[in-house]
Amino acid sequence: MEGISAVFPAYNDAGTIGQLVKKTFHLIEATGRDFEIVVVDDGSADDTAAVLERTQAELGSRLRFIRHPQNRGYGAALRSGFKAARKELVFYTDGDGQYDPGELSLLLAKMTSSIDLVNGYKIKRHDPLYRIVVGKVYNRFVRLAFQLKVRDVDCDFRLVRRELLNQAHLESDSGVICVEMVHKLQRLGCRFTEVPVHHYPRLVGRSQFFRLRAVTETLMQLVRLFLKRSSPIRPLAQELPESTIK
């Protein structure tokens, strides 16, 4: 069986990340697969780092975490996690608890030798109404603009082959990384399937997206990505600065 790197980007997720990591750890361990869990603490101002240290002491070396001294954005956190991943398959979801890592079993059931990406899609989105409306408009727009074949590009619950992910050479620092990832994987001939997954209300903390800086950066990166959508996929420098791995 192929090994799994489970990647969690986390920002001020002290209230949820510990239990998410433990649930994922025990679920994959029960499958008998080789695995690791990589958490990227993207400059959290709460106790996320302390929670990760306690969790690592409990679970051992299969849990590694990367610390960004400053908040660099969702895409930057994912790129650090992907760069650190060592196993054949990469699973990722968010550290805020809005997806159930127990549903990784649904993705694994679909990951056959003829599939490169298993993409989740939300059965029902549990967010404030304005986020649901904005999310639907955004999803339809980017699917049309980039000719994306997945139905829910912003469902952050995916299982993908690391070899293809490395070939994609992702660049985005914001949430645009989801569009960039799917678009580039399609261009690389990625074979994909989709599965429905549950989406839950956020119980701790709040979304970081609807801030002026985050929205502005997202729009700018989306425009740059659109202008470069037909450019060759070029290798990037390997080093991601200002991060520490434990």
Query: The domain containing residue 170 runs over which residues?
Result: 4-234
With respect to residue 243, please indicate whether it lies within any of the assigned structural domains: no
Lowest mean pLDDT among 5-14, 96-105, 171-180, 200-209: 200-209
Flag whether pLDDT at 153 surpasses 90: yes
Q: Could you report the per-residue pLDDT of 158-214, keeping only the tens digit for each?
A: 999 999 999 999 999 999 999 999 999 999 999 999 999 999 998 776 665 556 677
Angle value at C-alpha 171, between 102 and 186, nearest 5 degrees: 65
What tokens does 93 get?
């979801």
What tokens does 120 get?
């989740």
**DSSP-based three-state secondary structure for 32:** coil
With respect to residue 26, please indicate whether it lies within any of the assigned structural domains: yes
With respect to residue 172, please indicate whether it lies within any of the assigned structural domains: yes
With respect to residue 215, please indicate whether it lies within any of the assigned structural domains: yes
Decide if 190 contacts 164 (C-beta within 8 A).
yes
With respect to residue 138, please indicate whether it lies within any of the assigned structural domains: yes
How many domains in the chain?
A: 1
With respect to residue 240, please indicate whether it lies within any of the assigned structural domains: no
83-86: long-range contacts at Cβ-Cβ below 8 A with a sequence spacing of 24 or more? 83/238, 83/240, 84/5, 84/7, 84/38, 84/40, 84/245, 85/5, 85/7, 85/36, 85/38, 85/162, 86/3, 86/5, 86/36
- What CATH number is associated with residue 149? 3.90.550.10
With respect to residue 171, please indicate whether it lies within any of the assigned structural domains: yes
With respect to residue 246, please indicate whether it lies within any of the assigned structural domains: no
| pTM metric for this prediction | 0.89
Question: Which residue in this structure is represented by tokens 């590694």?
Answer: 64
Query: What is residue 245's predicted lDDT score, i.e. its pLDDT?
Result: 57
Q: Could you report the per-residue pLDDT of 198-235, keeping only the tens digit for each?
A: 999 987 766 655 566 777 778 888 888 888 887 877 65
